[in-house]
Amino acid sequence: MTLFTPSAGSVRDASRPTRRHEDRRYLALVLRRSRRDLATARERPPQSPELTGAQPPPEQTRGPASGAEDDELERVRERYLDVVKRALTHLLYRPLDVHFEDLGIDVDPEMRAAAAREFARPDFDWADVRAEGRDYPRFAQTMIGLRRLDNLQRCVATIVRDRVRGDLIETGVWRGGATILMRAVLEAYGDPTRAVYVADSFCGLPEPDDTQYPADAGSRFHEAAILAVSRDEVARNFELYGLLDDRVRFLEGWFRDTLPPLAGHPWSLIRLDGDMYESTMDALTNLYPSLSIGGFLIVDDYAYEPCQQAVADYRAEHGITDPIEMIDWLGAYWRRAG
Ligand SMILES: C[S@@+](CC[C@H](N)C(=O)[O-])C[C@H]1O[C@@H](n2cnc3c(N)ncnc32)[C@H](O)[C@@H]1O
């Protein structure tokens, strides 16, 4: 998700001082980190270099085959995937595609002013905003930014290399960018069988069910027109990369309806990006039980409180203790050990 995800939270809770206060603290954190932590993050080794995408050791980037010629093959793969990621994020093109005002719902004026002051700083780097997935881009095919795409690439390469059983799925695809990268990595590694499941309503987020999911109370994401992207547009985006084939499977509808029939379907990678407690919990409940050992669970919006709460509730209920690793300021993942 993006910089203004938390502000959408503040809009929806305009009458609730506590939540607004939390949202302001969250925005302040995001903005501070955009200048300070991002600079230092480039210098310090990440917790799990292989999976956060920062300069993994060569042997860990290899595909399933090995041998001297693989070094060259790996170099070409990296070059191909690098271009795909920069195209998906629109970082290949100028002017940069960065902006914040397309949610279609009111943003708290104080937060807007605070953001404007921050963006006006001379040392503010707009490319970092796009690379870090902090905005709602106009043209980019993903909003998640390079850091989370790097993580996704490493996770997919790892499941191919380690022959972890199962297909891949993202719940909440927007314009499809993250799922396009999944398919591109499978292509780059010559994986012959795995399918990529593309799950979305293709008409935006659901209205909040305050009774069943109090954490979503007041959510106004369903009013955000920019979050409603049609299935045709997503399919066309796959086509643009030459990656639309019968191993791309569309699951159209609300997660609560489309995911239960997949019970028992084996997964090697599950990526959650549904922004709400309900969407996160529906995906975990229906998909996690058949995530293979060695597979990955990625949560795009982990730092966003309703998503984090859903993850915490699910993990507590099911006794999951695999360590959660942060990818960047927002996303997190863990690898299933048992
Ligand atoms: C933040 S966007 C996803 C961003 C995307 N992963 C990317 O790479 O840019 C959230 C998406 O989740 C979808 N969504 C959220 N909750 C949903 C639900 N319960 N059922 C179906 N789709 C949902 C929305 O339609 C929207 O496309």
> Per-residue pLDDT averaged across 306-331, rounded?
97
Instruction: State yes or no: pLDDT of 32 exceeds 80.
Output: no
pLDDT of residue 64: 52
- CA-nearest residue, atom 15 of ligand 1: 274
Q: What is the pLDDT of residue 16?
A: 33
Percentage of the residues of the chain whose pLDDT score is greater than 70: 75
Residue nearest to atom 5 of ligand 1 (CA): 173
274 lines ligand 1 (CB under 6 A): yes
Q: Residue with the nearest Cα to atom 9 of ligand 1?
A: 142
The mean-pLDDT minimum among 36-40, 149-153, 189-193 falls in 36-40
Q: What is the mean pLDDT of residues 262-266?
A: 97
pLDDT band of residue 54 (cuts 50, 70, 90) is very low
Decide whether any atom of ligand 1 lies within 6 Å of the 216 Cβ.
Answer: no
Ligand 1: centre distance to CA 119 (Å): 27
pLDDT value for 76: 97
Give the pLDDT confidence of 269-302 residue by residue, as tens digits.
Answer: 999 999 999 999 999 999 999 999 999 999 999 9
173 pocket-lining for ligand 1 (C-beta < 6 Å): yes
Tell me the three-class secondary structure of the chain, residue by residue. CCCCHHHHHHHHCCCCHHHHHHHHHHHHHHHHHHHCHHHHHCCCCCCCHHHHCCCCCHHHHCCCCCCCHHHHHHHHHHHHHHHHHHHHCCCCCCCCCCCCCCCCCCCCHHHHHHHHHHHCCCCCCHHHHHHCCCCCCCCCCCCCHHHHHHHHHHHHHHHHHCCCCCEEEEECCCCCHHHHHHHHHHHHCCCCCCCEEEEECCCCCCCCCCCCCHHHCCCCHHHCHHHCCCHHHHHHHHHHCCCCCCCEEEEECCHHHHCHHHCCCCEEEEEECCCCHHHHHHHHHHHHHHEEEEEEEEECCCCCHHHHHHHHHHHHHHCCCCCCEECCCCCEEEECCC
Comparing 5-19, 196-210, 216-230, 308-322, which segment has the lowest mean pLDDT?
Answer: 5-19
Percentage of residues of the chain with pLDDT beyond 90? 63
Best residue among 135, 139, 142, 200 to mutate for probing ligand 1, ranked by most atoms within 8 Å of CB: 200
CATH class of 5-335: alpha beta
Pocket probe mutation, ligand 1, options 205, 256, 281, max atoms within 8 Å of Cβ: 205
**Does ligand 1 come within 6 angstroms of the Cβ of 146?**
no
- Residue 60 confidence (pLDDT) above 90: no
The pTM of this model reads: 0.82
Pocket of ligand 1 contains residue 205 by CB under 6 Å = yes
Please determine, for residue 51, whether its predicted confidence score (pLDDT) is greater than 80: no
Q: Whose CA is nearest to atom 13 of ligand 1?
A: 172
Which one of 173, 258, 272 would you pick to mutate in the ligand 1 pocket, going by the greatest count of ligand atoms within 8 A of its CB?
173
Residue 172 CA: nearest ligand 1 atom is 12
| Tens-place pLDDT, residues 90-146 | 988 877 777 665 455 555 666 667 667 777 778 877 778 778 888 788 899 999 999
> Which residue's C-alpha comes closest to atom 2 of ligand 1?
174
Which one is predicted more confidently, 47 or 65? 65
